[in-house]
Copies of this chain bind each other. A is one copy, B any other.
Amino acid sequence: MSQDPFEQTIQALLALGGQRVWSLMVTLFGDLAQAEGQGIDGPVLSIVMSEMAIRPEAVRVALHRLRNDGWIASEKRGRTRRHTLTAKSRAESAAASARIYAPPDEPDGDWQLVILEDSGGASHDGMAKRGFAPLLPRVYLGAAQCHPPQDALVLPGDHAPDWLRQQIAPKVLQDEYRALQDVLMTAEKRLGSAAGLSAQQQAVLRCLIVHNWRRIVLRHPALPRKLLPRDWAGHSCHILVNRLLTRFPRPALGDIVAT
């Protein structure tokens, strides 16, 4: 089994860690059934989750949690249950999708440096929500279109020296991107020689790619490339994710059937 390119890829993606069942399901619904009116039937969900070697009991526990959190609504339809995103989780998924599925080569803009009056007040979290990454205590960097706190010192950015790009890299999870980049590069090569994947394999592959990508990309502010290292692994990942998702498009839910 370890000789199969698909299986090897799935194992490598799962080995990146942080794959909680409920969180994988958030990714799956976001990728496969985000549109209004779409849902995933119980049997289809079971097939996809079992392709990831997740036991039915773990799927039930995760579904229970997601229903309690108001993320998933489940509805009986004859002999099966259909699971759908709620209005709230659909909106949140859509907001996240703007960044997860963004084309990798959109022109991006200028940046700004912001200095806060003191280290109290606006926290790292508060600044992260506004789109700023910390450089030094009280000193933050962000895209030009972000809104800094009122009364901060705001300076439009110009040339960013290389050391600045290197210093900001760990704040935007350079190491995590490097690990993902390795897996995606290998996956692209392996899957190049793979025979056509089944619909459920395609759903699983997409889910794990999107999941590992969004786990990193949503954890740091989007900074203009002018601020990032020239060999920025996050950008390589973005290109690889985009290429793989294009090559393995969303399967039709109806094509996912027990084998």
- Interface residues, chain A, CB within 8 Å of chain B? 113, 115, 117, 135-139, 151-161, 163-164, 167
Distance in angstroms from A191 CB to nearest chain B CB is: 42
Residue in B137, B151, B158, B167 whose beta carbon sits within 8 Å of that of A155 in the complex = B158
Residue in B139, B151, B157, B167 whose beta carbon sits within 8 Å of that of A136 in the complex = B139
Distance in angstroms from A80 CB to nearest chain B CB is: 59
Count of this chain's copies in the oligomeric assembly: 2
Distance in angstroms from A135 CB to nearest chain B CB is: 8
CA distance A255 to B132 in the complex (A): 68
Q: Are B155 and A161 in contact (CB under 8 A)?
A: no
Closest 10 CB pairs of A and B: A155-B155, A117-B163, A151-B161, A153-B164, A153-B161, A113-B155, A136-B138, A139-B139, A155-B157, A155-B158
Q: Which residues of B contact A156 (CB under 8 A)?
A: 155-156, 158
Residue in B136, B153, B154, B158 whose beta carbon sits within 8 Å of that of A154 in the complex = B158
Q: Which residues of B contact A153 (CB under 8 A)?
A: 113, 160-161, 164
Residue in B closest to A112 when the chains form the complex, CB atoms: B155
Q: Are A117 and B161 in contact (CB under 8 A)?
A: yes
Q: Which residues of B contact A160 (CB under 8 A)?
A: 153
Q: Which residues of B contact A152 (CB under 8 A)?
A: 161
Q: Which residues of B contact A113 (CB under 8 A)?
A: 113, 115, 153, 155
